[in-house]
A and B are shown apart, each in its own frame.
Chain A
Amino acid sequence: MSPVSDDDVSLPHISDNDLKPFYVLHKASDCQQRVKKPVGRSSRKVKVNLSASLATSDEGEMQDDQLHENSRMKNFHNAWVKIESTIKDVLHNINADVFNEVDSWVHKSFDSICSNGKPDANKATCAYPIVTDVTAKQIFTALVVMNNMEFVDDLQTFADLGTHLQSHGCHVANLSSVDFSVKSGIGGCLRSLLRQILSSSIDVADISVLASWYIEHDNYKHPVVVIIEDMDRCSGPVLSDFILMLSEWVIKIPVILILGVATTLDASKSILTSKAVQHLSPSKFFLGSPADRLDAIIKAVLVKPCSGFLVGHKVAGFIRNCFLRQDGTLTSLVRAVKMALVQHFLMEPLSFAVNGLLDEESEESTSVAEAWPKQAFDLPSCSRRLSEPKSEVALDGPSKMIEVMNLWSCVVLCLHEAGKKQKTTLLDLYYEALDPKLYNLRHSDHLELKPDSQRPSWIQGINGTSSKMQKGGLIGQTTRQVRDLSPAALLQLVEKWSKQTDGFIEIHEKVKELQLQEKIEDDTLKELANRSRRQTIRNSGNLDRSTKTLNDKAAALISCMTRDHMQPIECIPFHEIVCFKNVDKLQAALCGDPRRRIQLDLLECHNFLKCSCCGKSSNAPSSSMHDTTLMYTLAQEHGDLINLHDWYQSFRAIIFQKTVKERHRMKVSPSPKKRKMTAEPQNITEASVQARFCRAVTELQITGLLRMPSKRRPDFVQRVAFGL
């Protein structure tokens, strides 16, 4: 079934091509055929054949599999397109305000430049702009503060800002620090500026080209906007020169600068020369904080099931750790989600059944299959349920799953609203809400109605941990915070809940009830305020008590919601179809760990080669081992410096040792079978051992695990890695 033939991949021989810096291996083979094929999305996405992993027996099944693969690929494509567009929308909404602000500022600045005199053909024909006044040489500059040291996340923001301004009639060029390097100098940035604005390649980097272009046609009716996305990383002198040059020409070409600032607002002063700073007339704009963006994306992509794809608790934990500990960029988070998506549809054969599931539009709900495919009943989550005594409740179709998931996300969002005051991030809440263990604990807690003393001790143990987790846990904390809210905040919160829960009858009614009670309280409060002060004082204790009970009720409501309706995806039968849980695979694909893995390869090569000749369990050096792994194992016994002579001697000893042993064994055992096995070259020459030693050292050098002898220490190599 494998599409690849089983020809052995031959081991390398040095050929001509190996010595060319580069060569064309082959050209696209079937481009002619492909044109003739019916063009359509499905035809294009289906070419990847995934069947290698599936064992198939007969023709019909094969066809079935083919169909399933096709729908898997289609599902992947749809899911990703949906996630991508969702992210785009979310970011667009977050940035919309700032973008509009910048846009109106650009036009205002342009008007004020033009009020000094519109550029026209007369001025342009002058050899040099006639500006003597320093104030007239000001360049309007927007300092866009990113609130984020990680400029990666803002690359897209500035690209979007560029298109936004372009759609509002500006000439836009997006430059980055790469253009402002010392190496390419002022010519480099000018060239890419001209390239983008004139949209044709120009050989001479001369600003007068831009000036003459600007007065052509109707170009001069619009401002020229130059966006530099990461000012902090630009070379100061080059950027200063660039600004000085622009300021000389500002009358002819009203350039407006937009500088992305990652560090602090006065960064421009430290990077640029004072002369260049003089020419800037800065305004400040602030982009949304990364935390807000993160929450918005998590909400849209992961909490609200927008794509029919979800991740399990451990994967969520991995993504969270990635964000918090390692990288802190949204880009990496989105990348992780995409990678998880790819892995899921590659690995889960049943993912073809996602088709149409979780589409928010109700029109498409007809496409939701009423039942899961029959193979799905073998899934662990399902068979577990079937083995339980009360199996009649368990096995609902996809529509029920959507319902449960929507309820879950509704409760999570309610919790998030409640925790907003305490700056609870959605990422943490999301991670905790996905925990199947916590859910099961909560549930067993609830079902167990016997008094404490009658419970068996093991349940108490569980409950002990559960209450501890609840206390320490974010969800428990958030629930308790609801108790301490002020009446006004509580009112707001309940209002938000009521909005959030709209459409979920079970919860919504309870929230409405609470809202009603609150209203009554509110009314009495107002009434009380109207009465005399004395009475108010007398009643204040009473009032306190009533709001307290209201708080309690709200807290009870949210904890009841958490208990009854927040069922994590991993507790739902058939969740394997939509939920990605293989955290190890994801981690391996996202962040390779060459330093550790390459050393492990060398130290535990038997796990990969699985040969019969070397010792199975131990890593004791033996002559049959791969030379380089043998050498690296030997190197472990040395300190940070390895004496080449000693190393060679121990290597040599091991190479010869085995042969002696074998000879010995040959003498001892008369069986011809064993003699055959030991048909090794007996005559190992000294030179060949030296050659093997040399090659092994070279290979270790290629992996970077060794530093070669220096002039000062000609007889030692240096170890680079200590421990894994």
Chain B
Amino acid sequence: MDENDMIDEEEYEFSRNYFLAKESGKSVKKSSAHKVSELNLADEQELRAEVSNIEPKHEKEIALLINSYKKLYNEWVFELRYGFGLLMYGFGSKKTLIEDFASTALTEYNVIVVNGYLQSINLKQVATAMAEVLWDQLKMQLRSASGGTSRDQQPFNSRSMDDLIAFLDEPHKTENECLVCLVIHNIDGPGLRDSDTQHLLARIAACSHVRIVASIDHVNAPLLWDKKMVHVQFNWCWHHVPTFAPYKIEGVFHPLILAHGGTSQSVKTASIVLQSLTPNAQSVFKVLAEHQLAHPDEEGMPIDVLFTSCRELFLVSSLVTLNSHLTEFKDHELVKVRRHSEGQDCLHIPLSKDALEKLVQEMNH
């Protein structure tokens, strides 16, 4: 009875808060029609420079807080060993904490780190890397145990995802467990947020040779998983470890709210996005950038011109591949499409000449 009352009370509290917020929202809206543009805003370059130079607050306390979690490492290892996945949450970047944990307490495991805060992550490549690392370890063990030669193995990068998962899920052959620990920063990050990826991750996490350590930052992250994933596959053990450390790298890809609509992207973000793309895509971008630098007066590069130059350089074989690259560029706002005065679609990089030169220079390094 009492508990029911408590729940009712909570619900009441919640709805009251909600309506209060709605109400005051209205009144604020009435009274406050201030515009962001009324503020004396610094320009974006300056803002970005300032963001990277923000003086840290409470540095000592934060370091102490993070260090205080060290005494839990043994507990975490124990839970990991017995089949639980560790899920770290709480405010603040947990990247340093988890990596410190992995490199000090998980030395017996192979550890692969996935940066979920990045925009695009290829899980197939991750699984391939996991299989390769595991295979190396198994091979070593077999060799030292039997002295014989190991059987030949088909290269992993030509295998299908199902094969890779089947390999990771093989029963343990020796008494010594060979484990691959998958560390995923921001398993709720933009590159991993869709349901297919989460299902795939869950299947990987459920493999007998795999253990998982992940972090979430979004308050609604648990909605990504159904019961099978939570109870059977990931088998999460939750740990509340707020660090209050700044989300430096995690926040790089978010546009600054006081920057003007994010129309002009800085060199830094552009180069970061480019780095996460394939070498071919990078080269295609370079062709486009060099064209734009060489013809500063033109409105942009027509797609067919880009296609011909890229094909000559053996960067793409068909228009389909080129378009897939272009879609990626457009998604990351690296490239904009403009209608040419003659009615033709043109590609244009929304960066100033200086910025573009710098970017091309950075790419050449």
- List A residues at the B interface (Cβ < 8 Å): 2-6, 8-14, 17-32, 34-36, 39-41, 44, 47-50, 52-53, 80, 150-152, 155, 178, 183, 191-192, 195, 201, 327, 329, 331-332, 335, 338-339, 342, 346, 588-592, 594-595, 597-599, 601-602, 605, 608-611, 613, 624-629, 638-641, 643-646, 648, 681, 685-688, 690-695, 697-699, 701-705, 708-709, 714-715, 717, 719-723
Contact = CB atoms under 8 A, between A and B. Distances in A.
Contact of B176 (A19, A31, A178): A31
B78 A44 contact: no
Contact of A589 (B53, B67, B99, B237): B237
Nearest to A706: B257
A527 B122 CA distance: 84
Q: Which of B20, B63, B89, B199 has the most CB of A within 10 A?
A: B89
A629 B242 CA distance: 12
A3 B303 CA distance: 60
Contacts of B93: 12
Contacts of A594: 89, 216, 218-222
Contact of B14 (A34, A628, A723): A723
Contacts of A598: 89-91, 217, 219, 242
Contact of B28 (A6, A338, A638): A638
Contacts of B26: 639
Contacts of B144: 32, 35-36
A11 B59 contact: yes
A199 B263 CA distance: 54
Top 3 A-B pairs, shortest CB-CB distance: A639-B25, A592-B238, A691-B50
A594 B87 CA distance: 11
A49 B74 contact: yes
Contact of A645 (B36, B46, B102, B250): B36
B108 A30 contact: yes
B178 A80 contact: no
Contact of A723 (B18, B113, B250): B18
Contacts of B239: 589, 592
23 contacts: A12-B246, A18-B95, A21-B115, A21-B125, A21-B276, A23-B112, A26-B102, A27-B133, A30-B107, A36-B144, A48-B81, A192-B162, A195-B166, A201-B159, A346-B78, A598-B242, A601-B91, A626-B57, A639-B22, A648-B258, A687-B42, A699-B247, A719-B21
B67 A8 contact: yes
Contacts of A6: 67, 70
A268 B109 CA distance: 46
B89 A638 contact: no
Contacts of B79: 342
B21 A31 contact: no
B232 interface: yes
A570 to B, nearest CB: 20
Give the interface size bracket for B toward A.
35 or more
Contact of B87 (A10, A327, A592, A639): A592
Given A4-B105, A25-B103, A609 B219 contact: no
B1 to A, nearest CB: 10
Contacts of B162: 191-192, 195, 201
Nearest to B27: A639
B58 interface: yes
B176 A11 contact: no
A36 B46 CA distance: 59
Given A14-B248, A597-B240, A601-B91, A47 B108 contact: yes
Nearest to B68: A608
B110 A24 contact: yes
B252 interface: yes
Nearest to A652: B39
A235 to B, nearest CB: 14
A4 B71 CA distance: 8
A709 B199 CA distance: 31
